[in-house]
């Protein structure tokens, strides 16, 4: 069995050696003032694991990372961003020549309409903050898609499969990876994940609870299969 | 000079051995829904350095820590919290028998009035979120003060000294440590700090730019002087 695993591993080595892969990871931060901001729980671990797995298979990997404290995987080109708008610009300007694009970042979908230059002083009573939608990066990438195999992530707490399928179609994705973040051991902060992958072609595959590194390798293998890399 | 430094260091050793010190550190997080939250840039490094310095001097240190990824200093009792309300409860329930209490956490002063149990779906148009004030922990501690020497932190971007002095009086503090977070190398995220300390008795002392560890040691020494520890 060890031999089989090794063979399997060897047969994958450098399978992506002529391929370009673009991956986003982590949260974004949307500032209210110089001190306060709005963000989410994404640790970036899933995206960094995907970048590592793709690089190990020989791909030329560009990783657009929101504010996380993770080491850059070996051989990966990293672009650091803070806000949703910066992530959008970084993804768009690197999109054209990619073979595989995975949007695993948890991009803030709302940002404060106004960012204050000075720290807001406390006041009596309640405070109303108006938020506006950020650019839907995945939707934009779907609309501008040419040769790219485009993968989105969905983190849902209810009707996980329904919302995932809807997103796959609406954003013109080739595949979607669905987390049920309400489950123990799944999603944002931990080191493990359990996902359901659905493809445009109608394939559905559940990847059982495992480390994010193992899940990342399984996902990259599946995308390779789908792209039809020899 | 090395001998002088060593002597100085030895003379301080265990100066706080019969003292109890309570310190808060880090940011707090206020949830909007299971995925999104509101927070600030505090890294917790200043508070953790203060806890370390006090413990090295022999104090019995309790550290109430918001969500940060820092190792607990040796000999320190750590209580982890997430929200401003949890931090308030933890500080209050440990307040009574303390000799020195340092509130270095950057507590969210506003939280969403409503926390949603399920992830909010995106909608067209803007989104209004109503925020309410959290409990002002430092003000409460000031009002309930007996034997405690109470220290607050102020992170300001404008009129730093003015707002600092105002806070010292209004919150009934014994000392306030003022950061100008708009300056390079000062405040939240970095490893260095430069602060102005003002005491109730009218002393003002500027501590020049140095590592947070060095600043922490200088601050603890100053508080020891003020408390009059032999």
**All domains of chain B in start order, with CATH:** 16-118+128-227 (3.40.50.10300)
A50, A69, A150, A198, B121 from A45: Cα distances, Å? 9, 10, 20, 21, 24
- Closest approach of chain B CAs to the CA of A39, in angstroms? 6
Which range (A100-109, A181-190, B68-77, B144-153) has the least confidence? A181-190
- Inform me whether the pLDDT recorded for B4 exceeds 60: no
How high is the pLDDT of residue B9?
52
Task: Read off the pLDDT of residues B45-61 as tens digits, 9 standing for 90 and up.
Answer: 999 999 999 999 999 99
Alpha helix positions (H), chain B: 2-12, 45-56, 84-93, 137-143, 160-170, 212-227
- Inform me whether the pLDDT recorded for B8 exceeds 60: no
**For this structure, is B7 an active site residue?**
no
Nearest to B86 by CA among B121, B111, B60, B69: B111
Query: How many whole angstroms separate alpha carbon A193 and alpha carbon A212?
Result: 6
Active site residues of A: 40
Segment A65-81 shows an average pLDDT of 96
Segment B128-157 shows an average pLDDT of 93
Segment A10-15 shows an average pLDDT of 60
How high is the pLDDT of residue B6?
52
How high is the pLDDT of residue B2?
53
Q: Which residues pair with A106 in a beta bridge?
A: A27
Contacts of A162 in chain B (CB under 8 A): none
pLDDT classification of B127: cutoffs 50, 70, 90: confident
pLDDT classification of A42: cutoffs 50, 70, 90: confident
Chain A interface, best mutation among B32, B33, B34, B118, by max A CB count within 10 A? B34
How large a percentage of chain A has pLDDT more than 90? Answer: 61
pLDDT classification of A209: cutoffs 50, 70, 90: confident
Segment B130-136 shows an average pLDDT of 94
How high is the pLDDT of residue B112?
94
- Inform me whether the pLDDT recorded for B103 exceeds 90: yes
- Closest approach of chain B CAs to the CA of A6, in angstroms? 36
Query: How many whole angstroms separate alpha carbon B17 and alpha carbon A177?
Result: 55
- Inform me whether the pLDDT recorded for B136 exceeds 60: yes
Q: b/e map of A70-87 (b: 16 or more CB within 10 Å)?
A: beebeebebbebbbbbbb
Tell me the pLDDT of chain B averaged across its residues. Answer: 88
Segment A151-166 shows an average pLDDT of 85
Q: Is the dihedral angle over the CA atoms B90, B91, B95, B98 positive or is it negative?
A: positive
Binary contact (A182, B38; C-beta < 8 A): no
Q: Between the CA atoms of B101, B202, B137 and A31, what dihedral angle is there, to the nearest 10 degrees?
A: -110
pLDDT classification of B156: cutoffs 50, 70, 90: confident
Q: Choose among B122, B129, B188: nearest Cβ to A109.
A: B122
Burial bucket for residue A5 (CB in 10 Å: 0-12, 13-18, 19+): exposed
- Answer with the residue of higher pLDDT: B13 or B126: B126
Task: Read off the pLDDT of residues A159-196 as tens digits, 9 standing for 90 and up.
Answer: 888 888 999 999 999 999 998 766 666 666 677 888 89
Segment B193-208 shows an average pLDDT of 90
Query: How many whole angstroms separate alpha carbon B226 and alpha carbon B200?
Result: 10
- Answer with the residue of higher pLDDT: A188 or A158: A158
pLDDT classification of B42: cutoffs 50, 70, 90: confident
Contacts of A125 in chain B (CB under 8 A): 133
Residue pairs between chains A and B whose CB atoms are closer than 8 Å: 93
- Answer with the residue of higher pLDDT: A175 or B164: A175
How high is the pLDDT of residue A181?
66
């Amino acid at each position: 069995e060890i031999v089989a695993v090794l063979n399997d591993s060897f047969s994958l080595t450098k399978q992506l050696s002529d391929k370009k892969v673009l991956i986003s990871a982590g949260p974004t931060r949307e500032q209210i003032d110089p001190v306060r901001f709005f963000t989410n729980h994404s640790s970036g671990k899933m995206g960094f694991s995907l970048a590592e797995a793709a690089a190990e298979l020989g791909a030329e990997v560009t990783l657009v990372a929101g504010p996380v404290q993770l080491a850059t995987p070996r051989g990966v080109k990293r672009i650091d961003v803070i806000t949703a708008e910066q992530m959008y610009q970084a993804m768009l300007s690197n999109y054209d020549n990619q073979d595989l694009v995975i949007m695993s970042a948890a991009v803030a979908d709302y940002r404060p309409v106004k960012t204050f230059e000075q720290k807001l002083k406390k006041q009596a009573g309640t405070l109303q903050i108006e938020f506006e939608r950020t650019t839907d990066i995945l939707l934009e990438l779907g609309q501008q898609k040419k040769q790219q195999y485009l993968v989105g992530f969905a983190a849902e707490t209810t009707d996980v499969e329904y919302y995932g399928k809807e997103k796959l179609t609406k954003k013109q994705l080739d595949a979607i990876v669905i987390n049920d973040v309400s489950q123990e051991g799944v999603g944002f902060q931990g080191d493990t994940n359990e996902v359901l992958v659905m493809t445009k072609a109608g394939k559905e595959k559940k990847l059982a609870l495992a480390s994010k590194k193992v899940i990342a390798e399984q996902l990259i293998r599946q995308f390779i299969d789908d792209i039809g890399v020899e």
